Structure 1
Amino acid sequence: MTALSEYQRLETTGLWREGPERQRREVIVGFRDASLVLSDSRNDVPLSHWSLPAVRRVNPGEMPAIYAPGDDDGETLELTDETMIAAIEKVHRLIEARKPHPGRLRSILLGVGLVTVLGLGIFWLPGELVRHTASVVPFAKRSEIGKAILADVARISGAPCASGPGQRALASFSERLIGPVGGELVIVPSALSGTRHLPGKIILMGRDLVEDHESPEVAAGYILAERLRAEASDPLEELLHWAGFGATFRLLTTGNLPGDSIAGYGEALLATQPGRVADEDLLAWFEAAGVPSSPYAYAVDISGESVLGLIEADPFRSAPPPAPLLSDGDWVSLQGICGE
């Protein structure tokens, strides 16, 4: 690991300024495997994530110690805890010691390897680096990346459908099936049949799910199934595997993806075929969401043979759901969301 074992899970308080014009606020500073995590001191909600290799001290030798997450960032963090300051400085001394030095043969042979493990302290396999990077990216950054992928998808599918009444109905549908905080449903006009998931709890839907069915239960079933796929396979990890090692390392160390790393991913995403999810898991979600599973099952396989478990164990087979998914008016508006 980057941080030495004696500093594992070290925490202290500090004063964080989000930008040059912002007020300082007290935060909890957590010293983690390859990062500093800044959390609200009142409710422990993460506010910022700094990569340790990129952290720099802007006032060497002075107290309180003032740090910034990089050369061009307006954030600052003031620390007075000598143990935390010593931990950060010790990591940077280790990083400096591992830098290549002119005249040494191993600097030529191992230069690339040292850059790879800079600030990590171990040799990461690509899969491990992807998993670690995805695990430390905050939701706001995931949403930003999801929006960038959506823009790339739009080059092929066209701009998302957004008629006024339909958009309001879609927002209501999203709140019912995804939740009121974070995440959204997006309907695209072409190139997609079914659903796909993006980072930031964004679910893409093809217009066929609302235009080709008489009730919203089919679309709801596809959305619930896609949410299960997103839980089983992190969409950010899927992107990073596609973008490659360089883009992943850049995201880990700077908090940003290279500008061209997403180009073309939208086409690759639309070309993939979603896998089946376990009937037992899906049925539990249908019941919790108040959605019958049979309409979705017959949409997947009109014969019912391959989805018999979803039909026979439909949680609302003998009784109606507790509440309609949408009003009749909202469903009609949603069906016209891609209209002129």
Structure 2
Amino acid sequence: MTALTDFQRLEAQGSWRAAPDAPLREVIVSVGDATLVLSDPRTDRPLSHWSLPAVVQLNPGVTPAIYAPTTTGEDETVTIDDPLMIEAIARVQGAVASHRAHTGRLRNGLLVLAILAALGWLVFWLPGALIGHAARIAPPAQARDIGQAILTDLERGSGAVCHRESGQAVLNWLAPRLLGPDAAVRVVPGPLGGARRLPGEIYVIGSDLLQTAPGPEAAAAHLVAARLATTDDALRQAAVQHAGLLASIRLMTLGHLPQTAMQGFGAAMLMNPAPRPSDADLLAALAERGIPAEPYARTLDPTGQTVLPLIEGDAFRTTPPARPLLTDEQWLALQQICAG
């Protein structure tokens, strides 16, 4: 014991009681290697060994001091009146108490650090996890509501959705054939830089794709490209991320987002170019739907220099589709969707 370097050969007389009801017996008390040794003074035969760190004084602050190897007082005891021996044992008790306090502080410090780490992990992980969960579990009706809210935000910059009945009827007929049974296509007056896919299978195009094109093929190809380039799950995730944690919790608990949750999302979307799928995927999808690729490619680059793979890979480059995408009457009605 480092606390007893000054007392390594310390011995003192003491009165030992082997049990609470046993007679007192004179012993020699000596400090051993982390032990208190009680020996017979006549034969030097050890009678008992006590662990120094475990020794307790049953009458603190009193002389002669009574010690026991346990705190119960129901075991053997030894009475010592030698001040030097009492000081040695007290020093051991102080060293043990200091070590326990240090260990307790270290344990408490580690516990606090663990709690802070867990809280920090929750602070950084939990919001993203809740937002992601809210986006994943949103049913189709909620996804459509989110898409409609984004469309409303888009209208602030591109103008209100065009609602001419004859043109919308053409889109309602065309959308399931191009995009799937749940798709809905809307047209806004302003340009959007291509077609934009919104959550809930809502697709939006600008009227520029209808007014400046010789036919519906370019607009149709843009819609197909929007479908291939993004997924509804990714769109919902981005939208709910924009809405924030509190809005996500509201979506999970009440089933809808606050009215202002998507404010600014449409404008942020238009700051980036419309996403494009790979040329191979788009060419395959257009060929399957009977849509030429070159009209789409020319809207990206009128010279054709940067879109040669799309032009050269067009399945209808030399032979037009067997059936036109729309009749002349349908195409005219679609072109006039924003008129009046």
**What is the aligned partner in structure 1 of residue 155 from structure 2?**
154
**What is the aligned partner in structure 2 of residue 141 from structure 1?**
142
Which runs of no fewer than 5 residues in structure 1 stay unpaired? 1-105
Contact 1:192-1:206 within 8 A present in 2 as well: yes
Counterpart of 1:204 in 2: which secondary structure? strand
**What is the aligned partner in structure 2 of residue 271 from structure 1?**
271
Taking structure 1 as reference, are residues 318 and 265 closer, same or farther at Cα in structure 2, changes over 3 Å only? same
Displacement of 1:171 after TM fit?
Answer: 1.5
Distance 1:260 1:163 in 2: 28
Taking structure 1 as reference, are residues 312 and 265 closer, same or farther at Cα in structure 2, changes over 3 Å only? same
Counterpart of 1:306 in 2: which secondary structure? helix
1:70-93 deviation per Cα after TM superposition (whole angstroms, max 9, x unaligned): xxxxxxxxxxxxxxxxxxxxxxxx
**What is the aligned partner in structure 2 of residue 185 from structure 1?**
185
**What is the aligned partner in structure 1 of residue 211 from structure 2?**
211
Displacement of 1:177 after TM fit?
Answer: 1.1
Distance 2:260 2:178 in 1: 33
Distance 1:223 1:155 in 2: 22
Letter in 1 for 2:152: A
Residues 1:163 and 2:164 are matched in the alignment = yes
Counterpart of 2:273 in 1: which secondary structure? coil
Counterpart of 1:197 in 2: which secondary structure? strand
Distance 2:156 2:232 in 1: 28
Distance 1:288 1:130 in 2: 37
Displacement of 1:315 after TM fit?
Answer: 1.7
Taking structure 1 as reference, are residues 294 and 170 closer, same or farther at Cα in structure 2, changes over 3 Å only? same
Structure with greater helix percent: 2
Taking structure 1 as reference, are residues 276 and 175 closer, same or farther at Cα in structure 2, changes over 3 Å only? closer
Distance 1:219 1:191 in 2: 12
**What is the aligned partner in structure 2 of residue 311 from structure 1?**
311
Letter in 2 for 1:314: D
Contact 1:286-1:292 within 8 A present in 2 as well: yes
Contact 2:191-2:205 within 8 A present in 1 as well: no
Judge which range, 237-246 or 249-258, deviates more.
Answer: 249-258
1:279-294 maps to which residues of 2 (within 5 A)? Answer: 279-294=279-294
Counterpart of 1:307 in 2: which secondary structure? helix
Contact 2:283-2:315 within 8 A present in 1 as well: yes
Displacement of 1:127 after TM fit?
Answer: 4.5
> What is the number of residues matched between the two proteins?
227
**What is the aligned partner in structure 2 of residue 175 from structure 1?**
176
Contact 1:133-1:248 within 8 A present in 2 as well: yes
Displacement of 1:123 after TM fit?
Answer: 7.5
Judge which range, 138-147 or 271-280, deviates more.
Answer: 271-280
Taking structure 1 as reference, are residues 191 and 302 closer, same or farther at Cα in structure 2, changes over 3 Å only? closer
1:77-129 deviation per Cα after TM superposition (whole angstroms, max 9, x unaligned): xxxxxxxxxxxxxxxxxxxxxxxxxxxxx9xx98x959x97xxxx98355544
1:255-281 deviation per Cα after TM superposition (whole angstroms, max 9, x unaligned): 322332112222222222223321111
Letter in 1 for 2:326: L
1:74-153 maps to which residues of 2 (within 5 A)? Answer: 124=125, 126-153=127-154
Which runs of no fewer than 5 residues in structure 2 stay unpaired? 1-111
Taking structure 1 as reference, are residues 138 and 332 closer, same or farther at Cα in structure 2, changes over 3 Å only? same
Displacement of 1:135 after TM fit?
Answer: 1.8
1:176-222 deviation per Cα after TM superposition (whole angstroms, max 9, x unaligned): 2123x312110001253322111111011000011110111110111
Contact 2:199-2:232 within 8 A present in 1 as well: no
TM-score with structure 1 setting the length: 0.60
Displacement of 1:160 after TM fit?
Answer: 0.7
Distance 2:315 2:231 in 1: 22
Contact 1:193-1:207 within 8 A present in 2 as well: no
Taking structure 1 as reference, are residues 309 and 191 closer, same or farther at Cα in structure 2, changes over 3 Å only? closer
Contact 1:193-1:208 within 8 A present in 2 as well: no
Counterpart of 1:332 in 2: which secondary structure? helix
